[in-house]
Amino acid sequence: PIPRLIDKDALRLFVEGNDDTTTRVYDCASDDLDQCLEPGTRTLGTFKGLAAKIVDDLQQNQVLERFARNNATPSDGTRLDWLTRSHVGGHLLRIVQKNGAQAGYDYLGNYSRLLAADAITSFVIQLLDVTEQGLSSMTMADSVNALENLRDTRHRVMGEYRDLLLSYGGYKDADRQALDLLETAPNSDPGKLPQGTTASHAG
Write out pLDDT tens, residues 104-117: 999 999 999 999 99
pLDDT at 6: 82
Tens digits of pLDDT across the chain (203 residues): 677 888 778 999 999 999 887 888 988 877 776 777 788 888 888 999 999 999 999 999 999 999 999 998 888 888 899 898 899 999 999 999 999 999 999 999 999 999 999 999 999 999 998 888 887 777 766 777 888 888 888 999 999 999 999 999 999 999 999 999 999 877 544 444 444 444 444 43
| Domain residue ranges of the chain, discontinuous segments joined by + | 10-183
CA distance 64 to 109: 13
pTM for the model: 0.79
pLDDT at 1: 64
CA distance 33 to 5: 19
What is residue 162's three-state secondary structure?
helix
Amino acid at residue number 201: H
pLDDT at 187: 54
Q: Which DSSP string corresponds to 80-115? A: HHHHHTSHHHHHHHHHHHHH-HHHHHHHHHHHHHHH
